[in-house]
Amino acid sequence: MECSIPKHKIGLLSVIAISTTGIIGSGWLFSAYLGAKIAGAGVYLSWVLTLVFFILMALVIAEIVAIFPLRGIIGRMGSLSHNKYFGVIFAFAIWLELVGSIPGEAQASVEYLAGISPHLSKLLISDGALTAAGLAFTFLFLVAYWLANMFGIKFFAKVNNSIAAVKVVLPALIALIIIGTSFHPANFTAYKDSFMPYGMNSIILAMTSTGMIYSFNGFQLCASFASEIENPGRNLPLGMVISIIICFFIYVILQTAFIGALDTQQLVTNGWASLNFSSPFAQIATMIGLNFVTMVLYADACISPSGTGITFVGSGSRVLYSMASERQMPSMLAVLDKKHNFEKRAMFFNFGVAVVFLYLFHSWAVLINFITALIILMYMIIPISLIALRHSHATMERNFRLPFANIICAILFLVQSIFFIFIGAKDMLYLTLTMSALMAVFMMLHARGQDGYSFMDVAKISLPFVGFLWMITILILVGPSNYGGHDYLNYGAFYAAYVVVSLYAFYHFTNKKFVDKCQEIRTMDKVKIVE
């Protein structure tokens, strides 16, 4: 294994700070409101399911990092466990998700700040989208995010640790102040005398469409810094789990504050779906007379998303660096700045891509729908990789080993597949078309075959996952209308077929014969593992 050891490494506190900063971003400004609007007080179940899902994902990642503590590990899992041809679709999803989330964080700040005054709102936002002035203001946030990452991991850690402390304390403190000032216990069952008035579908929908998955996605950001962390086998899993639990409690306190402060009579009469806020907590604070809290909220609308944006810049550049190292992107991007130990070329390339995202998506809500679909796709490689590595690197030493890995990983993969149902037929079709197009371009440019294997060998390895995406997309399209389908299948037939297809796909991508074939091609490519 070839690697250069960084002179400076970060400890457990910085690991927790990186993940916490990634989780407490723009999501806390909107998720409590959007979650309550969709699921009512049943949104608490959504938060609990989100907690369980991400803790299990963190433990799966921990064993992979225990085998390969490498820079940008999230982006290269598929290449390490299989090969670059199989892993490229996940690497593209991870990279696009990270880079696309950066302007999302900046947009959240600008949209929230627009609520300060009617004049500012008119200047920055028109018809729910950013104006030219709003886009220019957002661009300045992007520049600041990149500057904070250009002086190496130690400088980044100092900036990030300071922001993380503010991001943890402020939301929790604001929530407690709101609870202490105005709290109506009757709100939790005010509509139809029910805690969960919209059923179980609303619980999963809240996870996928209100920023929960988007927000907690930040838990894995510290894994991209694996080679720069002291004792990653211990500090990474511990840091990820601690940060997930801390942020879960913060989000629950925020959710409680939001629901408890609402007008009870409005909920009884009109229900949760009638809620309509543009700057939720700031408007709540104003309604109950907490003007000083309102001003703090507007300040934190800059701090919290900015901390996440800064972290995403560092993580995104490391993922692109790792893709270049795995020959999935031009090798010129796998170059480190020797003075500050950061991915100079990758960072500048990502800045250009982030600007393109900013141009294409002019609002936080629209961008988050697309990003959530990418997040779900990128996570599918994590359980696949662990089981594949159990086959291909069975004897490799690791100081953490996940118990019941086969069962846990199969369940995680199935849950991720089910999340796609709640993305909806339209957005799922867009995702599948996008990834199919990217894979077609990659195959034309890179899958020409080498000595020992042919183009068809590459196609047999890389295209089955695209086929899986098309199978579940078609099922959603012909499934129940609640998911955007055409009602050709009832719920029973739809879910039965969906579960069978998903579990068979997991088996196919993790069975030893398929993994061995992938590793043979990886060996023929003579890939050197670089940090």
Residues forming beta bridges with residue 2, ordered by sequence position: 530
Query: In which band, very low, low, confident or very high, does the pLDDT at 2 lie, cut at 50, 70 and 90?
Result: very low
User: Residue 131: helix, strand or coil by DSSP?
Assistant: coil
Distance CA 241, CA 26 (A): 21
The dihedral region occupied by 444, where left means phi > 0, alpha psi between -120 and 50, and beta the remainder, is alpha
Q: What is the DSSP letter of 342?
A: B
**In this predicted structure, what is the pLDDT of residue 3?**
41
Q: How far is CA 206 from CA 48, 214, 234, 326, in A?
A: 12, 11, 33, 36
More confident residue, 299 or 207: 207
More confident residue, 61 or 399: 61
More confident residue, 72 or 22: 22
**In this predicted structure, what is the pLDDT of residue 112?**
82
User: Residue 337: helix, strand or coil by DSSP?
Assistant: strand
Alpha helices in 5-151 (DSSP H): 12-23, 27-39, 43-67, 73-81, 84-113, 118-124, 132-147
Query: In which band, very low, low, confident or very high, does the pLDDT at 40 lie, cut at 50, 70 and 90?
Result: very high
> What is the residue extent of each domain of the chain?
12-408
- The half-sphere exposure of 303 on its side-chain side, counting CA atoms within 13 A, is 19
Checking if the pLDDT of 37 tops 70, the result is yes
| Residue among 510, 455, 436 nearest 82 (CA) | 510
Q: Locate 72 and state its tokens.
A: 């940008």
More confident residue, 95 or 381: 381
What is the identity of the amino acid at 289?
G
Kindly indicate whether the domain formed by 12-408 is annotated with CATH number 3.90.1150.10.
Answer: no
**In this predicted structure, what is the pLDDT of residue 163?**
66
Q: Average pLDDT for residues 312-318, to the nearest whole number?
A: 80
Q: How far is CA 39 from CA 196, 200, 209, 282, 480, in A?
A: 7, 9, 11, 22, 20
Segment 237-291, tens digit of pLDDT: 888 899 999 999 999 999 999 999 999 999 999 999 999 887 888 889 988 989 8
More confident residue, 403 or 146: 403
More confident residue, 9 or 81: 81
**Element containing residue 130 per DSSP (H, E):** strand 129-130
Checking if the pLDDT of 409 tops 80, the result is yes
Percent of the residues in the chain that have a pLDDT greater than 90, as a whole number: 35
**In this predicted structure, what is the pLDDT of residue 527?**
61
Distance CA 223, CA 529 (A): 17
Lowest mean pLDDT among 280-294, 410-424, 445-459, 474-488: 445-459
Q: How far is CA 362 from CA 58, 156, 270, 412, 468, in A?
A: 32, 28, 30, 33, 31
Q: Average pLDDT for residues 225-243, to the nearest whole number?
A: 82
Helix then strand then coil, % of the chain, to nearest 5? 80, 5, 20
**In this predicted structure, what is the pLDDT of residue 78?**
87
Segment 111-153, tens digit of pLDDT: 888 878 888 888 888 877 888 898 998 999 898 888 877 665 5
**In this predicted structure, what is the pLDDT of residue 343?**
65
Lowest mean pLDDT among 91-105, 179-193, 460-474: 91-105
**In this predicted structure, what is the pLDDT of residue 6?**
47
Segment 330-367, tens digit of pLDDT: 777 766 655 555 567 788 888 998 998 888 887 777 78
Angle between helices 381-392 and 512-524 (to 10 degrees): 80
- The answer to whether 284 and 261 are in contact (CB under 8 A) is yes
Say which residues have a Cβ less than 8 Å from residue 35's Cβ, sequence separation at least 6. 43, 46, 47, 206, 210, 212, 255
**In this predicted structure, what is the pLDDT of residue 376?**
92
